[in-house]
Structure 1
Amino acid sequence: MISKANAETAIRKVFPNSRISAIKRFKKGLVNESYSVSISSPKKELVLRIYPKEGWKVEKEAYLYNLIKEKTNVPVPAVYNIDTSKSIINKPYALLSKIEGKELPLSKTLVKEAGSCLAKLHSIKFGSFGWIINNQIKPKFKTWPGFILYDLNYKIKRTKMPGQLAAKIKKYVKINQFLLNIKTKPCLLHKDYHKSHILVKDGRISGIIDFEWSIAGHNEMDIVKSLLWMFNRNKELEKIFLDGYKKYGAISDKFNERRRLYELITYLSALNFAYELKNKRWYDYNLKRIKEALSTWQT
């Protein structure tokens, strides 16, 4: 828990005459600490977001928020300051504008708008596929299969899963590798586009937040993950979301064929995240889903 004094010192780097009138930690957030902060002189609502270790993550989110503001009309927080020095707060932090709103309710109009916002994010293109570190793609890959195989092997090795299961995953991906041969350019993937990161106020989407896991990749992977986490196989809501997406973006005729492969990769990413957090319940859940996926989809 951050002290009010340290928070005030950090905020005064941007707003020298300010005073904190209220500060409260957001309940959600598995990795980062985020605080809602009200200040006077000037009167503003802010978010102080504190990252546990890596300074590159705060630099990455600041870079992406500014890029999205420059390239699209998708609402995202304004970045007032970032600090990786650990001189005021003992961890890297970002000071952002607070976007008012509640998490996305699954109404037809808003689900469709959420699809459109995702397509607009995907309109941001990059020169290479890969992870986004600070403000760069690193490591860079010319092809989507090249990156996916690199990422896959990294996560399999890191999670220390049983060797037989790892072999099955690699075999399945190899059999279906032709589905990764895409012609589209690398685009910005949110990689965690679900209800709690889509804020709504007065019947409209007021903001998209949390780009910590973003990569440069294939748009359809982002779509698959959103469908998987948001709609629980509700075909009507999926169609509405995809209709909203198609207003500004394109989906290939191989989407349904790729969907199974991308779901498997999504479960593997979630397994890796659970391993990192030492969350056994979440790890076991995703391990189970991977095994189910392989037994259902194996060819």
Structure 2
Amino acid sequence: MEPDGELLRDRLGLRGDVVRFEEGSLPVFAIGDDLVLKLWPPEHHDEVPTEVAVMEALHGRLPVPTPELHDTGVLGEWAYVLMSRLHGEEPDVPDVEISAQVGEVLAALHEIAPPEVLEPGNWAAFVAEQKAGCVAQQEKRKLPERWLEQIPEFLDSVDLGEPRPVLLHTEVMNVHLLQQNGKLSGLFDFEPAMRGAFEYEFVGAGIFVTKGDRRCWKAMVDAYGRVPDPRRVMAYTLLHVYSNVPWFMKDMPEADTLDELAVRWFSE
């Protein structure tokens, strides 16, 4: 049953109008101008430690505001996190200035030590598991057969190396960013965070921020200070936990092969 935001506000001893944010898969309420209450049902309580640990690790350490933790606990069946409210609007993308700012944010993010709570503990094992189920996942997403046939050979041809794990947001995309007057004013939503290869981060950023625009990609990676290998990013696009290549293709440049997509989507 959908939680009652006003009842939860009162039980927490808070004041202010309660407004439910329409976006997102979890119930999230603004309480007045200064607070946000995010809720998890029982089957997702295990996500709360990640949200809390990353929120605490990032606050005040990025070139963009992130929420400050106020409280966490359980009310009835709902786990909750009470945090400060960020202000702004979802940025219009692709945009060169926003892309450059995202690159700066990612550079700072990846310098912060990943909290111990983050998974996976073994990146190579995670990659192997994702590779084993990759074709089946994309088949379930209704990826056409001509693309499915390319996946095994393409993944086998990409050397993903032995990367130093960094703190990954994993979903740095327009819907998790805010901007005011052309400047980023917020980054939020940390429960999908992981530890792993830095190129994995550029899947979401490339598809949902730069969106195949070469000028925007260049601005982002120049600000980041390191150029991700396009084929590695394409491989992680296939291996991403939430990969849905047919959906990605709707708003991205077209090509005939995965190698061509790598260049069209993730290079200057």
The equivalent residue for 1:296 is 257
Aligned residue among 113, 135, 146 for 1:125: 113
Among 208, 225, 237, the residue aligned to 1:229: 208
Could you say which residue in structure 2 is the equivalent of 1:62?
52
Q: How many residues align?
A: 251
Task: Determine if the alignment matches structure 1 residue 259 to structure 2 residue 254.
Answer: no
Counterpart residue number, 1:97: 84
Alignment match, 1:115 = 103
Q: Percent identity?
A: 22
Q: 1:181 aligns with which of 148, 152, 161?
A: 161
Determine if the alignment matches structure 1 residue 269 to structure 2 residue 250: no
> Could you tell me how far 1:286 is from its partner in structure 2?
6.1
Distance 1:109 1:3, change over 3 A: same
Name which structure has the greater RCO, CA cutoff 8 Å, separation 6+: 2
- Residue 31 of structure 2 aligns with an amino acid whose one-letter code is V
CA gap 1:110/1:171 in 2 versus in 1, 3 angstroms? closer
Instruction: Compute the RMSD of aligned alpha carbons.
Output: 3.2
Is the 8 Å Cα contact of residues 69 and 75 (structure 1) preserved in structure 2? yes
| TM-score relative to the length of structure 1 | 0.71
* Residue 40 of structure 2 is aligned to residue 51 of structure 1: yes
Partner of 1:9 in structure 2?
A: 10
Change (3 A) 1:51 1:160: farther
1:50-108 per-residue CA deviation (whole Å, 9 max, x = no partner) reads 1233212122101101011275454210111111x343xx3211111100111123443
Contact 1:155 1:269 in 2 (8 A): no
Equivalent residue letter for 2:187: I
**What residue identity is the alignment partner of 2:7?**
N
1:139 deviates by: 4.6
Q: Structure 1: which 5+ runs fail to align?
A: 13-17, 39-43, 127-131, 272-282
Letter in 1 for 2:58: I
- In 2: Cα distance, 1:251 partner to 1:5 partner: 47
1:140 aligns with 2:121: yes
Judging changes above 3 Å, is the alpha-carbon distance between structure 1 residues 197 and 2 closer, same or farther for their aligned structure 2 residues? Answer: same
